């Protein structure tokens, strides 16, 4: 055992000495002249260490009673050799190469240390918001020494920290950045919103209880003025808001209607539409309001509206009915000649917008075509050219550099503001999603001031809901009753689920039009036993207590109280009602003039064969005066216009311009079950689809349904049972 211990000790000592010698050799080889001097100073220390190791070996030898002369001689020889090698001068070139290698390794180590320090999550900093950016992805991180000291009890961060998300690059079509402004209609009221391009956080820019619309950016570089129309002072006037100073200036002072402003290229003038002398015309005024407005020469007796100023400053595009249909015209300020650019009798164009570049004269506009609203682009100097269809959408406007167009696309769940490339690269991009009712988006290359972004969105002037349905659910089948709505009609009741919205709509119409248009109706609720006119579907929404019909004869008179405009959307024909405001409010304080020619139903019986076959035609004379868009008002209160039946051209009973209903997502039978028990509706119950019969099996017997003996009535209209003094619920 002792021999084995001596041998093990011997080997361990040799290994230690060899390792120490190897480390010393390699260290000395990579040191410069300066380090050699240091080494000469430290050499006695290493000799001392060697002597200590020899002493340890001698102790082991004495402890086990025998020595290893060979081991001692070997260690002595190695110590002498180390001393001799240290005095040998190394090759200078070899020393220089080793020094450069060491310097490279040191630089790499320093670089790694700097990277680790810079990316450490424990370093403090404060985010600096970039002007014009609206999301966290567009923030810079600036280090600061004024960071709070962490509490010593705070747990250390995890080793694997959550990576910081990188900013999503903007699509090419939005590279020009800047800001957008658009009109948003919600809760029966219209405001102007702004949003930095690239942000998904729009800012409500106006919030007066009245309406603001038709925004237009000033064209001057670094100028942040926004012109728009508003009725905040009692009638429609023009205003300019300076975003730099936050100052709003009223430009027009006239009881008549003014709207639709557009800037001249130098920013010194505004062109707009104004209703004076019982006609809607184009006017020009200085943008500071220092001079009275001037009517554009060459105006006709028919409406001219939606003006747009060309980039060269010498032409004005506008919409007019002067040739019997709604076309886009251009007025030349030099020779004062008006030319028809679109000239399409079967299409009604609107919202012209000039291409901003000087190397091409193009107009973008929108129009209904084959039942859908589309974006068109057409050269101004070639009226015979076929307009290019860009996309589906409404009211286009060019990007500041003309590389793309921006417009609104409406859907059932809201609107999308879309940017589509025209002459530049990129793909069609959704800029922002907004609620239904967005229109008139315009684009400026000038970013929004930091003060506007930091102030954030203004609160809505409309607090709460336009109406509240106070519903009393009955503890029986059917669960809801019919409630009185207090109007002049045979069955003056509607479902308790919708009666409050109708009452609120009636009050709103009275305030907007100045007279009680809904105080008298042709129809409200229809009992099941009611005889139906020819061509009327038995499953009629009047039977659900969720529909009402305005007075059909309201379209007759001089002037008639109501004008109806036809709208073909997809495969459906819809109608839009415009209610004429009261005679004592025909000075501009209520409503606004019409822009669309109404439909002439009387012409179908006037001997015009074509009008008879087409269910009528457009009127030939434009109505004068101020009107309220009742269809829009009804939609604000959740009442939808009924589309015309497929046979409306031949069957006057299915025209349906007078019908409004609220389905709230219910099908007809489910709506009926809210006010009828299942028994009375046995003949209207949905028919179940029979399962296929497998060969060799008998078909199940078919149930025979007997018709009811007497027409049923809703529970709320039944006579009170004998002995029950509780009346039927009258609902909300």
Which is more confidently placed, 689 or 520? 520
Contacts of 294 (CB under 8 A, 6+ apart): 283, 284, 285
Q: What is the pLDDT of residue 139?
A: 32
Q: What is the pLDDT of residue 425?
A: 77
Which of 148, 149, 203 shows the shortest CA–CA distance to 181?
203
What percent of the chain is helix, strand and coil (3-state, nearest 5)?
Answer: 25, 25, 50
Instruction: Report the alpha-carbon distance of residue 264 to residue 249 in Å, rounded.
Output: 18
67 three-state secondary structure: coil
280 three-state secondary structure: strand
- Per residue in 630-689, pLDDT (tens digit) is 999 999 999 999 999 999 999 999 999 999 999 999 999 999 999 999 999 998 888 655
Taking residues 366-379, what's their average pLDDT? 95
Q: What is the pLDDT of residue 39?
A: 53
Look up residue 301 and give its DSSP letter: S
| Torsion-angle region of 263 (φ positive above 0: left; ψ -120 to 50: alpha; else: beta) | beta
Taking residues 355-360, what's their average pLDDT? 77
pTM for this one? 0.73
297 pLDDT band, cuts 50/70/90, is: confident
Which two structure tokens, joined as six digits, stand for 299?
């105006």
Instruction: Report the alpha-carbon distance of residue 513 to residue 517 in Å, rounded.
Output: 8
Look up residue 665 and give its DSSP letter: T
Contacts of 87 (CB under 8 A, 6+ apart): none
Q: What is the pLDDT of residue 107?
A: 61
Is 233 in contact with 278 (CB distance < 8 Å)?
A: no
Instruction: Report the alpha-carbon distance of residue 146 to residue 47 in Å, rounded.
Output: 53
Instruction: Report the alpha-carbon distance of residue 170 to residue 409 in Å, rounded.
Output: 21
Altogether, the residues listed in the chain come to a count of: 732
Instruction: Report the alpha-carbon distance of residue 212 to residue 252 in Å, rounded.
Output: 15
Q: What is the DSSP string of 74-111?
A: HHHHHHHHHHHHHHSPPPHHHHHHHHHHHHHHHHHHHH
Q: Is the peptide bond before 559 cis (omega within 30 degrees of 0)?
A: yes
| Torsion-angle region of 665 (φ positive above 0: left; ψ -120 to 50: alpha; else: beta) | left
Is a pLDDT exceeding 90 seen at residue 38?
no
β-pairing verdict for 349-354 and 482-484 = unpaired
- Per residue in 256-265, pLDDT (tens digit) is 999 999 999 9
Q: What is the pLDDT of residue 727?
A: 35
Give residue 463's Cα distance to chain centre: 22
- Per residue in 216-237, pLDDT (tens digit) is 999 977 778 999 999 999 999 9
Taking residues 505-524, what's their average pLDDT? 98
Instruction: Report the alpha-carbon distance of residue 96 to residue 513 in Å, rounded.
Output: 97
Counting Cα atoms < 13 Å in the Cβ hemisphere of 304 gives 26
Most confident of 354-363, 426-435, 637-646, 685-694: 637-646
Q: How many CB atoms lie within 10 A of CB 656?
A: 19
**Which range (251-255, 415-419, 675-679, 702-706) has the least confidence?**
702-706
Taking residues 604-614, what's their average pLDDT? 92
Instruction: Report the alpha-carbon distance of residue 225 to residue 231 in Å, rounded.
Output: 19
Is 663 in contact with 539 (CB distance < 8 Å)?
A: no
Is a pLDDT exceeding 80 seen at residue 108?
no
705 pLDDT band, cuts 50/70/90, is: very low
Q: What is the pLDDT of residue 144?
A: 33
Q: What is the DSSP string of 134-181?
A: -SGGGEEEE--S-PPPPPTTSPPPPSSPPPPPPPPPPPGGGTT--EEE
- Per residue in 532-544, pLDDT (tens digit) is 888 888 899 999 9
In angstroms, what is the C-alpha Rg of the chain? Answer: 43
| pLDDT, the chain, mean | 80
- Token pair 């061509």 is found at 535
Q: What is the pLDDT of residue 50?
A: 58
Is 276 in contact with 282 (CB distance < 8 Å)?
A: no
Q: What is the pLDDT of residue 696?
A: 45
Instruction: Report the alpha-carbon distance of residue 192 to residue 186 in Å, rounded.
Output: 11
Q: What is the pLDDT of residue 26?
A: 54
Dihedral sign computed on CA atoms, order 82, 87, 88, 92: positive
Is a pLDDT exceeding 90 seen at residue 387?
yes
Instruction: Report the alpha-carbon distance of residue 29 to residue 174 in Å, rounded.
Output: 61
Q: What is the pLDDT of residue 301?
A: 83
Taking residues 603-621, what's their average pLDDT? 93
- Per residue in 192-216, pLDDT (tens digit) is 999 999 998 999 999 999 999 999 9
Is 342 in contact with 387 (CB distance < 8 Å)?
A: yes
Q: What is the pLDDT of residue 48?
A: 61
Q: What is the DSSP string of 336-390?
A: --EEESS--TT--EEEEEE-S-SS--EEEEEEEETTEEEEEEEETT-TTSPPEEE
> Rounded to whole angstroms, what are the CA distances from 53 to 8, 17, 46, 304, 455?
16, 8, 11, 109, 78
Q: What is the pLDDT of residue 169?
A: 73
Give residue 59's Cα distance to chain centre: 89
- Token pair 């015979």 is found at 384
Instruction: Report the alpha-carbon distance of residue 6 to residue 216 in Å, rounded.
Output: 100
Taking residues 88-113, what's their average pLDDT? 59
Is a pLDDT exceeding 70 seen at residue 575?
yes
Look up residue 49 and give its DSSP letter: H
Is a pLDDT exceeding 90 seen at residue 573?
yes
Contacts of 385 (CB under 8 A, 6+ apart): 378, 379
Instruction: Report the alpha-carbon distance of residue 636 to residue 630 in Å, rounded.
Output: 10
490 pLDDT band, cuts 50/70/90, is: very high
Is 677 in contact with 669 (CB distance < 8 Å)?
A: no
């Amino acid at each position: 055992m002792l021999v084995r211990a001596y041998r093990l000790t011997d080997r361990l000592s040799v290994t230690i000495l060899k390792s120490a010698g190897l480390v010393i050799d390699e260290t000395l080889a990579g040191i410069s002249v300066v380090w050699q001097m240091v080494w000469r100073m430290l050499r006695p220390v290493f000799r001392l260490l060697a002597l200590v190791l020899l002493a340890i070996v001698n102790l082991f030898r004495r402890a086990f009673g025998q020595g290893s002369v060979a081991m001692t001689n070997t260690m002595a020889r190695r110590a002498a050799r180390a001393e001799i090698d240290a005095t040998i001068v190394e090759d200078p070139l070899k020393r220089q190469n080793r020094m450069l290698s060491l310097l490279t390794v040191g630089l790499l180590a320093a670089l790694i240390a700097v990277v680790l320090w810079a990316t450490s999550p424990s370093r403090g900093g404060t985010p600096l918001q970039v002007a014009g950016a609206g999301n966290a992805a567009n923030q810079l991180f600036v280090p600061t020494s004024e960071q709070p000291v962490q509490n010593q009890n705070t747990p250390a961060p995890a080793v694997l920290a959550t990576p910081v998300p990188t900013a999503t690059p903007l699509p090419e079509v939005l590279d020009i950045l800047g800001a957008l402004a658009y009109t948003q209609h919600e809760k029966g009221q219209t405001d102007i919103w702004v949003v930095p391009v690239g942000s998904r956080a729009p800012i409500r820019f106006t919030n007066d209880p009245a309406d603001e619309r038709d925004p237009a950016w000033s064209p001057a570089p670094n100028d942040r003025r926004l012109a728009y129309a508003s009725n905040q002072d009692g009638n429609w006037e023009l205003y300019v808001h300076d975003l730099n100073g936050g100052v709003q200036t009223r430009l027009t002072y006239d009881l008549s209607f003014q709207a639709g402003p557009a800037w001249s290229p130098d920013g010194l003038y505004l062109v707009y539409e104004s209703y004076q002398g019982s006609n809607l015309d184009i006017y020009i005024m200085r943008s500071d309001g220092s001079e009275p407005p001037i009517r554009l020469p060459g105006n006709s007796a028919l409406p001219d509206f939606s003006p747009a100023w060309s980039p060269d400053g010498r032409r004005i595009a506008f919409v007019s009915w002067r040739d019997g249909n709604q076309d886009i015209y251009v007025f030349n300020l030099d020779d004062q000649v008006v030319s028809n650019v679109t000239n399409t009798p079967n299409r009604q164009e609107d919202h012209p917008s000039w291409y901003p570049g000087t190397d091409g004269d193009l107009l973008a506009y929108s129009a209904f075509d084959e039942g859908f609203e589309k974006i068109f682009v057409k050269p101004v100097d070639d009226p015979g050219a076929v307009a290019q269809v860009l996309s589906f959408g409404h009211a286009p406007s060019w990007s500041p550099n003309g590389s793309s167009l921006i417009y609104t696309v409406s859907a059932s769940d809201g609107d999308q503001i879309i940017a589509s490339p025209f002459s530049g690269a990129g793909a069609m991009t959704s800029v922002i999603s907004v609620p239904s009712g967005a229109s008139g988006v315009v684009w400026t290359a000038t970013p929004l001031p930091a003060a506007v972004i930091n102030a954030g969105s203004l609160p809505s002037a409309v607090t709460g809901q336009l109406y509240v349905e106070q519903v009393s659910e009955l503890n029986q089948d059917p669960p809801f009753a019919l409630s009185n709505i207090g109007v002049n009609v045979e069955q003056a009741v509607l479902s308790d689920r919708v009666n409050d919205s109708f009452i609120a709509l009636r009050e709103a119409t009275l305030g907007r039009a100045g007279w009680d248009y809904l105080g008298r109706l042709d129809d409200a609720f229809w009992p099941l036993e009611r005889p139906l006119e020819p061509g009327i579907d038995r499953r009629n929404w009047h039977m659900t207590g969720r529909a009402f019909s305005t007075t059909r004869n309201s379209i007759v008179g001089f002037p008639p109280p109501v004008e109806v405009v036809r709208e073909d959307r997809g495969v459906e024909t819809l109608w839009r009602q415009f209610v004429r405001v009261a005679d004592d409010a025909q000075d501009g304080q209520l409503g606004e003039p019409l822009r669309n020619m109404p439909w002439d139903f009387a012409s179908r019986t006037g001997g015009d064969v074509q009008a008879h076959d087409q269910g009528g035609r457009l009127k030939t004379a434009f109505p004068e005066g101020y009107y309220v868009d009742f269809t829009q008002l009804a939609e604000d209160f959740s009442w939808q216009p009924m589309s015309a039946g497929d046979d409306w051209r031949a069957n006057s009973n299915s025209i349906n311009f007078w019908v409004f209903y609220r389905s709230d997502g219910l099908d007809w039978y489910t709506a009926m079950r809210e006010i009828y028990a299942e028994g009375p509706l046995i003949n209207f119950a949905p028919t179940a689809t029979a399962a296929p019969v497998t060969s060799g099996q008998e078909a199940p017997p078919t149930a025979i349904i007997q018709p009811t003996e007497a027409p049923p009535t809703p529970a709320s209209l039944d006579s009170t049972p004998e002995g029950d003094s509780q009346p039927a619920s009258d609902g909300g």
